[in-house]
A and B are shown apart, each in its own frame.
Chain A
Amino acid sequence: QSALTQPPSASGSPGQSVTISCTGTSSDVGGYDYVSWYQQHPGKAPKLMIYEVNKRPSGVPDRFSGSKSGNTASLTVSGLQTEDEADYYCSSYAGYNTEVVFGGGTKLTVL
């Protein structure tokens, strides 16, 4: 059982927007502005898409955006493209003892 809760699946049609939620507690998501999101295609290593809640690394399209409210973080993918179909994982810093926690992952399907 993962520390952060994500929906197992999400879907949308090309051009649409989809939002994936990531719910934690005040000890992780709610306590720090250190939420990150990762995209993983089958057989590949994960790729950083969002860090520190809403920052995009260079090279990540601005169609990807992050936000946080209380103990829940969200990843929004706008203007869905077929190549966005992948698994998405959220992660949060959780203090020194636990350090890093992940969500269970969300499989995004582009219909």
Chain B
Amino acid sequence: EVQLVESGGGLVQPGGSLRLSCAASGFTFSSYWMHWVRQAPGKGLVWVSRIKNDGSDTNYADSVKGRFTISRDNAKNTLYLQMSSLRAEDTAVYYCIRVRGYNGFDSWGQGTLVTVSS
């Protein structure tokens, strides 16, 4: 069974940093591109970032470019999202997602809540 388990969310002050982790199991993690998508409370889904299966290529939404860094450790079957210079508008549930093809997000974690507030 495919499982994605996020961790690392919490309350952080504006301007602060946080690192999210996503532990993957039940599939060959190193074969899949992975994404992060977020959802602000009561709002819709917003794409955040993507990383190729071997980590050689990454991409970001304009709203997080230069502040967030996606990475992965295929030996540990773990995906990361390093977030810095956090703003109130970054407050959201962050989902770790496995993708099939270009945007078939076929497996989602349970999400981890990041709250940016003073």
Contacts and interface: CB of A to CB of B under 8 A. Distances in A.
B52 to A, nearest CB: 12
B103 A2 contact: no
Interface stretch (A13-21, A69-77, A100-108): A100-108
Interface string A30-67: 00101010100000011110011001010000000000
Given A45-B95, A89-B45, A105-B44, A100 B108 contact: no
Contact of B103 (A46, A55, A93): A93
B108 A46 contact: yes
Interface string B37-63: 100000011110010000000010100
A92 interface: yes
A8 to B, nearest CB: 10
Contact of B44 (A32, A48, A103): A103
A34 B99 CA distance: 12
B47 A101 contact: yes
What are the 9 closest A-B residue pairs judged by CB atoms, nearest first? A51-B104, A100-B47, A45-B108, A93-B102, A34-B102, A102-B45, A105-B44, A93-B103, A48-B106
